[in-house]
Structure 1
Amino acid sequence: MNEPNGSAIEYRVEAEGVEKAFGDNKVLRGVSFKVARGTATTIIGPSGSGKTTLLRTLNALDRADAGVIRVDDVEIDFSTPTTKPEVRRFQSRSGFVFQSHNLFPHKTVLENVIEGPVIVQKRPKEEVVAEATELLEQVGLSDKRDQYPFQLSGGQQQRVGIARALALKPKLVLFDEPTSALDPELVGEVLSVIKDLAVEGWTLVIVTHEIQFARQVSNQVLFTDQGIILERGTPDEVIGDPKEERTRQFLQRILNPL
């Protein structure tokens, strides 16, 4: 069910000139980047730098005001009018893992995972349940399938959220600070699942404040500041030997707090 790594570079995501404003606040200022198929890209940067908004534009949860974004085989020029079917087709190419789990409280773990494939994708329930059972085993929750979210820890709820995103068979998986709402002792279990997905060759874009995790899991790191990508490269380049003074200041504060 995973997306295997390919030998030739194939870009799963291509974004060009992406802009987004909320009122007078310009959050994204002509952002451009690419994500290769079967790779993990992490987005780091200070609060308010546009990280989450950039991620949400990749799924049109926040519609860009301008720019072109292609995810897999679907491209949208956000400077022109778009129809609801076009946006739905664009959104169907990716799965989104939220900070706060966003599980249905009145549904069991299994019901949460199968909701999208059965209701939205109209796939046969028996087939979806079999796949969901495999996914719950993959994230270490096969024994929790009949429990409800309130019976789970925060880390377990987040792992259900990951399984729910994967159940849609997305070409791209988006993570919005997946550990920010967790107690420190629960962070590791979620990061471990994401690392496994990276090893398996899923295409991932992850907004995170876990710098050491970004260094371990990433093929590409993007450092954002004031609505632009100020620096990009491998983890060794951006985190290990940043070229920009602003990047160095940010990493110094995160890695060596007072």
Structure 2
Amino acid sequence: MTEEQIEYRVTAEGVKKAFGDNQVLKGVSFKVEQGTATTIIGPSGSGKTTLLRTLNALDRADAGVIRVDDVELDFSKPQPKSEVRRFQSRSGFVFQSHNLFPHKTVLENITEGPLIVQKRPKDVVISEAVELLEQVGLAAKRDQYPYQLSGGQQQRVGIARALALKPKLVLFDEPTSALDPELVGEVLSVIKDLAVEGWTLVIVTHEIQFAKQVSHQVLFTDQGIILERGTPDEVIGDPKEERTRQFLQRILNPL
């Protein structure tokens, strides 16, 4: 398949972002093919989460062009709020710390966005939410509140909530970092299923073996740039850059 025939869900070109004097992203460019999973790995402070958040404009880039599905924003110039909202509506975001509404039931957490933001029919939204709960293995928890759930269950509700918006792209910000080790597997299993089903995913993760299993593309970031990119076999199995090798050695073979 030629470059022209590939359908990209995400295209980022020259993305820059600074917080004060700290230049976190230094002109990042990459593409994500439709129906594939891309993982972003790298040391703390390398810009992984900031890069992910620019894809939903949770952090507005200072410069660069990002296209998600059919909406493109040029962050070097002011953007109308309506266009930013269109851009944000193309993706769903799964946070590290669940971010569920504590006073709402599991079902209410999932239906909030489709009902309030998208103004879709209530009976349809509830039916789809129940299906999503079955998909993430939590159908029996629909009427419980977040405090009644384990961390892994809360994160699976967070995933269902993101999917309920029918996004073209699902973004995961270290979805297992806040979980106890024994709960990590249940969340990673759900994400693997989404990858198999053909959702377009971008995942910031420190779970290197998971990245190796789930990814079509791996991006290794360091000091605000993408230092290396390729398939898992290329980046994780046979990295070209010494910095990538050092990072993986430290992660995979800790003292």
Runs of 4+ in 1 over 2 A off after TM superposition: none
SS in 2 for 1:229: strand
CA distance in structure 2 between the aligned counterparts of 1:197 and 1:207, rounded to whole angstroms: 15
Mark the runs of 5 or more structure 1 residues left unpaired by the alignment: 1-7
Q: Which residue pairs with 1:185 in the alignment?
A: 182
CA displacement at 1:178 relative to structure 2: 0.0
CA displacement at 1:9 relative to structure 2: 2.0
Of 148, 152, 157 in structure 1, the residue corresponding to residue 149 of structure 2 is 152
Of 19, 26, 32 in structure 1, the residue corresponding to residue 29 of structure 2 is 32
TM-score normalized by structure 2? 0.98
Q: Which residue pairs with 1:3 in the alignment?
A: none
Q: Which residue pairs with 1:101 in the alignment?
A: 98
Mark the runs of 5 or more structure 2 residues left unpaired by the alignment: none
CA displacement at 1:83 relative to structure 2: 1.2
Cα deviation, 1:79-132, whole Å, max 9, x if unaligned, reads 010111110000000000000000000000000000000000011111100000
Query: Size of the alignment, in residue pairs?
Result: 251
Of 132, 152, 169 in structure 1, the residue corresponding to residue 129 of structure 2 is 132
SS in 2 for 1:69: strand
CA distance in structure 1 between the aligned counterparts of 2:77 and 2:119, rounded to whole angstroms: 30
Cα deviation, 1:11-40, whole Å, max 9, x if unaligned, reads 000000000000000000000000000000
CA distance in structure 2 between the aligned counterparts of 1:102 and 1:246, rounded to whole angstroms: 34
Correspondence 1:73-92 to 2 at 5 A: 73-92=70-89
Correspondence 1:1-258 to 2 at 5 A: 9-258=6-255
Alignment RMSD (CA, Å): 0.4
Letter in 1 for 2:249: Q
TM-score normalized by structure 1? 0.97
Letter in 2 for 1:15: A
CA distance in structure 2 between the aligned counterparts of 1:169 and 1:104, rounded to whole angstroms: 20
SS in 2 for 1:87: helix
User: How much identity, in percent, do the aligned residues show?
Assistant: 90
